[in-house]
Amino acid sequence: MADLAELRANIDEIDRQMITLLAERFKYTEEVGIYKDQHGLSAQDPSREAQQFQKLALYAEQSGLNPRYAEQIYRHIMDLVISRHQELKTVQK
Ligand SMILES: O=C(O)C(=O)C[C@]1(C(=O)O)C=C[C@@H](O)C=C1
């Protein structure tokens, strides 16, 4: 059994990688938000989300992650993205 410091070092490294990937994901969703604003599209796209949640559940199962955790984490991420897209739409032009 690894000691606590070793376990926490692994967690810290995963957190570093997750933040890097989240920053990258939010850069792309920012571009999507600008595109949606310019083309008069809704901030939220439920059919796209349904496809994503299906894939996320599969990835979670394949990785041994509780699919409900994946769903809750991504629901929160997407809600943040939707809020940002709504904000982009209300910016004075
Ligand atoms: O793909 C889009 O249309 C997005 O706005 C991105 C995103 C996402 O974070 O993946 C966010 C909100 C939408 O409801 C669907 C997906």
Those residues whose C-beta lies under 8 Å from the C-beta of residue 49, and which sit 6 or more positions away, are 78
Digit-coded pLDDT (tens) for 10-34: 999 999 999 999 999 999 999 999 9
- 7 alpha carbon to ligand 1 midpoint, in Å? 34
Q: 62 lies in which domain range?
A: 4-90
Q: Which of 26, 51, 82 to mutate to test the pocket of ligand 1 (most atoms within 8 A of CB)?
A: 82
Residue 50, domain CATH: 1.20.59.10
Residue 59 pLDDT level (bands cut at 50, 70, 90): very high
> What is the pLDDT averaged over residues 60-73?
98
Q: Is 7 left (phi over 0), alpha (psi -120 to 50) or beta?
A: alpha
Those residues whose C-beta lies under 8 Å from the C-beta of residue 59, and which sit 6 or more positions away, are 65, 70
Domains: count for the chain: 1
Query: Which residue's C-alpha comes closest to atom 6 of ligand 1?
Result: 29
Q: Is 92 left (phi over 0), alpha (psi -120 to 50) or beta?
A: beta
Residue 1 pLDDT level (bands cut at 50, 70, 90): low
Those residues whose C-beta lies under 8 Å from the C-beta of residue 47, and which sit 6 or more positions away, are none
